[in-house]
Amino acid sequence: EVQLLESGGGLVQPGGSLRLSCEASGFTFSSYAMSWVRQAPGKGLEWVSGISGSGGRTYNADSVKGRFTISRDNSKNTLFLQMNSLRAEDTAVYYCAKDQEMATIVALDIWGQGTMVTVSS
């Protein structure tokens, strides 16, 4: 069964850091690009970051450039999101998602259950 399992969410103070993880199973992880998508409480979806299957290319939304870093460890089938300089507006459920393609972001066909990040003092 294809599965994505996020972890690492929690409560953090403004200006703090957090690292999210997403463990993949049931498919050849290195063959697909991956993304992080977030959803603030009661709001719509916002694509945050993406990475190619090899990890050689990364993509970021303007709202997180310079603060968030996406990476992956294909030997451990795990995707990461390092979040620094966190702001209240980063509060959201963070989903990891598998792409249909390897090299770039095309369509997100498998999603995890999400992990909640709350930025508050």
CB of 14 to another protein, least distance (A): 25
* Pair type for strands 115-119 and 10-12: parallel
Angle among Cα 66, 69, 70 to the nearest 5 degrees reads: 145
Question: What is the binding site for another protein (CB under 8 A)?
Answer: 35, 37, 44-47, 50, 59-62, 95, 100, 104-109, 111-114
Close Cβ partners of 108 (under 8 Å, ≥ 6 residues apart): 35, 37, 97, 98, 99, 100
- Output 17 or 100, the one with its CB closest to another protein: 100
Closest contact distance (angstroms) between CB of 73 and another protein is: 23
Nearer to another protein by C-beta: 44 or 75?
44
Distance CA 105, CA 32 (A): 9
Least distance to another protein, CB of residue 75, Å: 26
